[in-house]
């Protein structure tokens, strides 16, 4: 898994990880270039959490229940 550090995972790779543990993280700060997006549009942003995580850690951010971003930190 260390070869995936600083990588965003697609859903297929995430599912290959097998059994995962869900842990809610408190968002300390978030900002983005644009908050309202139309289908097919993208934006960039920053999400800061105040939680010490052991590396490597797989983090899946869920926005409004439908949009997910999964990355290895």
Which residues are CB-contacts of 47 (< 8 A; sequence separation ≥ 6)? 27, 29, 30, 61
Q: What is the pLDDT of residue 31?
A: 93
**What's this model's pTM, rounded to 2 decimal places?**
0.67
Q: What is the pLDDT of residue 67?
A: 80
> Is residue 65 scored above 80 in pLDDT?
no
End-to-end CA distance of the chain, in Å?
10
User: Once rounded to an integer, what is the mean pLDDT over residues 19-37?
Assistant: 86
Among positive and negative, which fits the CA dihedral 50, 54, 60, 65? negative
Which residues are CB-contacts of 56 (< 8 A; sequence separation ≥ 6)? 1, 2, 4, 5, 72, 73
The percentage of the chain sitting over the pLDDT mark of 70, rounded to a whole number, equals 97
Among positive and negative, which fits the CA dihedral 12, 65, 31, 59? negative
Q: What is the pLDDT of residue 24?
A: 84
Write out pLDDT tens, residues 30-57: 998 988 888 899 889 999 988 888 888 8
């Amino acid at each position: 898994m260390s070869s995936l550090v600083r990588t965003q995972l697609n859903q297929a790779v995430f599912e290959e990880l097998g059994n995962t543990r869900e842990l809610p993280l408190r968002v300390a700060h978030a900002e983005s270039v644009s908050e309202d997006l139309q289908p097919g549009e993208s934006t960039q942003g920053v999400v800061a959490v105040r939680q010490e995580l052991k590396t490597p850690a797989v983090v899946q951010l869920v926005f409004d229940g439908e949009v997910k971003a999964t990355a290895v930190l």
